[in-house]
């Protein structure tokens, strides 16, 4: 075993860094009003702002979304990876981000619901729909591809969904977004240590 350890010492699973600031800069603009652009922006913002697994985001259902004057609340009653007898089901609270409307998840969510209202099949209550007709519910694998495509545009390389979800910090330039959505901060000029890995079919 010692010989194996010396020839193949343990390495970190991920040895790259990325900066969420680059993604946020890319998202910090009004999206095109087409289904693809709004869908990709919304799923990326949801993951960045809430830190939830893509599995959880894929389980969001329209009847479980409630808007108020302060923002949007989303209940996730379906079984998720963290579900257990003593564990509360996820609840996503998304207040309106008035300081930066282009990065407001609640506003983007409302825009998406209005856009998909005429496209949504009567028997489909999942939030995210596929781009092509017939517009059925999007799977978690599909949502992962959307996030990867969005981050690829911003970073010129794909970012694993876990890299975004497990964000250890945020650059100071976007600390307003980080604090507003209760995401941890890092010191100035540091980068978030996280995953840069290709999405697998098991994501």
Give the residue extent of every domain in the chain. Answer: 13-194
- In whole angstroms, what is the distance from residue 57 CA to residue 143 CA? 8
What's the pLDDT at 61?
96
Instruction: Look up tokens 């959307």; give the residue.
Output: 146
| Global confidence as pTM | 0.70
Residues 196, 163 contacting (CB under 8 angstroms)? yes
pLDDT at 108: 95
Question: Residue holding tokens 């946020």?
Answer: 24
Give, to the nearest 10 degrees, the angle between helix 35-50 and helix 140-155. 90
CB of 101 within 8 A of CB of 107? yes
Report residue 29 as tokens: 């603009």
What is the block-wise mean pLDDT of the chain (203 residues), using blocks of 10 residues?
54 49 78 87 88 87 96 84 64 89 93 96 95 92 86 57 48 60 46 26 31
The CA distance from 90 to 74, in Å, is 8
pLDDT number for residue 168: 38
CB 132 within 8 A of CB 148: no
- Strands (E) in the chain, as ranges, are 16-18, 65-67, 71-75, 91-95, 192-194
Strands (E) across 50-183 are located at 65-67, 71-75, 91-95
Residue 5's pLDDT is what? 45
Tell me if the domain spanning 13-194 has CATH number 1.10.443.10: yes
């Amino acid at each position: 075993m010692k010989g194996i350890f010396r020839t193949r010492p343990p390495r970190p699973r991920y040895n790259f860094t990325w900066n969420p600031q680059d993604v946020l800069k890319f998202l910090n603009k009004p999206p095109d009003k087409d289904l693809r652009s709004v869908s990709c922006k919304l799923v990326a913002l949801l993951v960045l702002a809430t830190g939830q697994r893509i599995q959880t985001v894929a389980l969001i259902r329209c009847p479980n979304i409630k808007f108020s004057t302060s923002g949007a609340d989303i209940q996730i009653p379906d079984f998720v990876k963290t579900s257990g007898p003593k564990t509360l089901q996820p609840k996503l609270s998304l207040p309106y981000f008035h300081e930066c409307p282009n990065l407001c998840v609640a506003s983007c969510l409302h825009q998406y619901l209005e856009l998909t209202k005429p496209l949504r099949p009567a028997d489909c209550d999942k939030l995210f729909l596929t781009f092509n007709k017939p517009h059925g519910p999007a799977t978690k694998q599909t949502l992962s591809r959307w996030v990867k495509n969005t981050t690829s545009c911003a970073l010129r390389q794909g970012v694993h969904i876990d890299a975004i979800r497990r964000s250890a910090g945020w650059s100071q330039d976007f600390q307003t977004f980080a604090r507003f959505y209760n995401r941890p901060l890092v010191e100035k000029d540091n980068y978030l240590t996280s995953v840069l890995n290709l999405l697998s079919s098991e994501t």
